[in-house]
Amino acid sequence: MTQKVLKVGSSMAVTLPKKSLQELGIKIGDEVRVDVDFKKQRVIVEPANKIDPELLEWTDGFIKKYRLALEALARK
C-alpha cells in the first residue's frame, strides 16, 4: 500500500488504513511502538503491548523446568 505524508500542524503524519489497524488489533487511543530501521529505510509500527514470542517461549521453558521450585517458593 502507498500512503502520502500529510502535514499536521508543524509535524508530519501518515494515516494507516482501518483494515490494517483492525488486523493488528490497534484501536483509537491505543499506544503503539514506532521503530526505525535506518539500514532498510523502514518505519515499523506495532502495538506497544506486544510481547516478544522468543521471551514467551523462554519463560514457558523456565516454568516447566523449575515448576516444583517455583511452587515451593510461592508457598513460603
Query: Contact 34/50 with Cβ under 8 angstroms?
Result: no
Among 24, 23, 18, 48, CA closest to 34: 48
pLDDT, tens only, 33-64:
899 999 999 999 888 876 778 888 999 999 99
Handedness of CA 3, 9, 28, 45 (dihedral sign): positive
pLDDT, tens only, 6-34:
999 999 999 999 999 999 889 999 989 89
For the chain, the domain total comes to 1
- pTM: predicted TM-score of the whole model, two decimal places: 0.53
Residue 66 confidence (pLDDT) above 90: yes
Q: What secondary structure letter does DSSP report for 52?
A: P
The Cα 23–Cα 45 span in angstroms is: 13
Question: What pLDDT is recorded for position 44?
Answer: 92
Domain that holds residue 41: 5-75
Question: What pLDDT is recorded for position 62?
Answer: 96
CATH number of the domain within which 33 lies: 2.10.260
